[in-house]
Structure 1
Amino acid sequence: MPFEQYVLLVIPESEDYNFVYVEEKGLVDFFRPRLSTGEHQHFLPVGPEAIVEVFLPFAIKKQAGTIEIVIKMRTQVAWDEESWEIEVKPEGAPVIKHTSVLLDLKSRALFYEFLDIPIDESPIIQNSLLRRFVAGSPQASISISGDVFGPTSEDISVHYDNAFKGQRSLKSTDGLAFNFGATLWTLHYMRLTNQLTISEATAAFDFLNVQMAGILTQLKLTAWVTNLFQNAMFEEWEYLIYVDPRVLTDAVKFMLKHQNPDGDFGETEFYNITLDHKYRYQKSSFPNDVSIGLTALVTATIKEVVDSLHGTIRKRANQAILRAQSLIFCFKLLSI
């Protein structure tokens, strides 16, 4: 406006918050601020073509939920009213503990009204500003799974972030392979138990295609992922997720390239030690160190996919299986 105006701001009374008074020199006691309820009015002049910023401090009463704040404005020539919805999130800190309860539903249903949650009695850590938890934290999560298979989401896909509640970070191929494998076995379980409806599972198959496109491998992961790809080749859903047989052929060629003359399989030159301790080299009576775990894994994978191979690569795969099995048998004899 080209002239000075007097503005009256009105804050209506609400059960969701109190008004916080700002003391002299803009000071507010953080732990014990001066509060009041009821309607509040704030009168101020606004110069011509000017803007005035007004801070309105509130003390929210709710620990969690949604509140609405309404501000009314009146001048000599106009009035206005604005409202905002504010989501109040509960304070708290994660407690990396859980309570396990066995629900025996074989003969009858049971009803649990209360669950004991193990937490420390006091949040105070002696001689420290840190706290173990925030008292009164009102949020928790419950996960229910059967004794055969774990819980599944509505879209059936399984992501490691959700599976591990953000407590474990998987990177690159490990994470993609976990997502692919967990989702694939979920689909197979639902298919075998007559719970799978293809039209409702299209999002899961889209998820599988995305994860498959991003997988890059080393020898151990090549064997693991190749086994997953083989199990993903199923006639009923071939039009939803298609694994090109050339992928399996190239994967087997890659694995055969890393078989030693003795029959054992060794990691690539980029991984002189297998990242998974179960597949690391073991001292033996052979001239060289042999990774029996890695050899067994790769051999089992090649046996799984050999029927899908064609031509000379199939012959080479069968020969590699025989050499590896002979080595594993000799290793067992020497270990007795």
Structure 2
Amino acid sequence: MDVGTGPHLHIGYVKESGHVWVSDTGGDTITVLDHADGRVVDRWHLGGGAAHFSFDAGCTVGVVALRSADEAVIVRPQTREVVRRVSLPAGSAPTGTMPAFDRGIVYTLNEGNGTVTAVEVSSARITASIPVGGLPKWGQPWGASYKPITQPVGKTYVVSTESDDVTVFDDSTNEVIRRIPVGHRPNRNAIFREHGNIYISNEADDTVTVIRIADDQVLATVPVNHRPFRMLPIQAINGRDEMWVLGAGEATTGAGTVAAVSGTEHIVTRTIDVIDEPANWVVNPQKRLFIVGSSCRQLMVYDFVSDAPVGLTELGHDPAPGAISGLIHTSAGSLFILNNDSTVTVLRDQNE
């Protein structure tokens, strides 16, 4: 399916209305697709550089970061109505959003000026501007605002790629508690909730940093695979005490792997070969993992129950390698792949 002007940094799902959204970051639209067959429902002219968006649990309200317009737009996702526009300081270039809807807040990650902005959703008011490191890439709150399977501990972690650190701030005051040095060019973090630890993938030195959330102590720096960029704790999926780390592979060979890091020993206990130059992944309700390759034009299916690969599909386009989120699975049983051009590939999940 053709979408708007690229690059496209995010693909997301408004389940309640049966729509998939694609951020046309190079233009001023969000392309809206039907969640079953991918037909274009709307090209919503929202403003310059839609980069990333977050919705509350029922998709009644959301916030879209407009990178080139320096705005956070509060919207009603199911009807595509603009509620309010919040102007950010010039040069903010908000590229990510971090939801804290249980506290009535959405944070924007501002790559342009190394800050995080707290936007109060009900009043469309900026309540804080939090200094973090250079090029904030990703953030994780601990608690109900992100994945409601544990109690909040009152602090949030933001990864900054240029300054090689993680900023920890207090949720109630938005005051910075500390900055924790990690590896080189960190790009993502993920919480292993069963252990109370947060993991940071360091793309430029092939390591993962493990931090204990209770006291923010670094427990380990784990050598993993080449160019780690995605992480997934799988204990809640299949009972294995592992954090899976997806590596983008060698620049020359492109070979991609998953490094399984023990949640207790903090070492790689096994390495799983996957497809060349992995670009993204997603898990479906049947506990199957879909991994796409950025230029090998393949989709690999891995079954968590049998702990083995179960399928390989050839694709007609190169999946987008730099997307914040580039792959989603819908309740209609379709898989949407964000490509490295102005298209989205829609496949029917035959495993349902």
Which structure carries more strand by proportion? 2
- Report the TM-score when normalising by structure 2: 0.22
Greater helix fraction, Structure 1 or Structure 2: 1
Q: TM-score, normalised by structure 1?
A: 0.22
- Bigger Cα Rg: 1
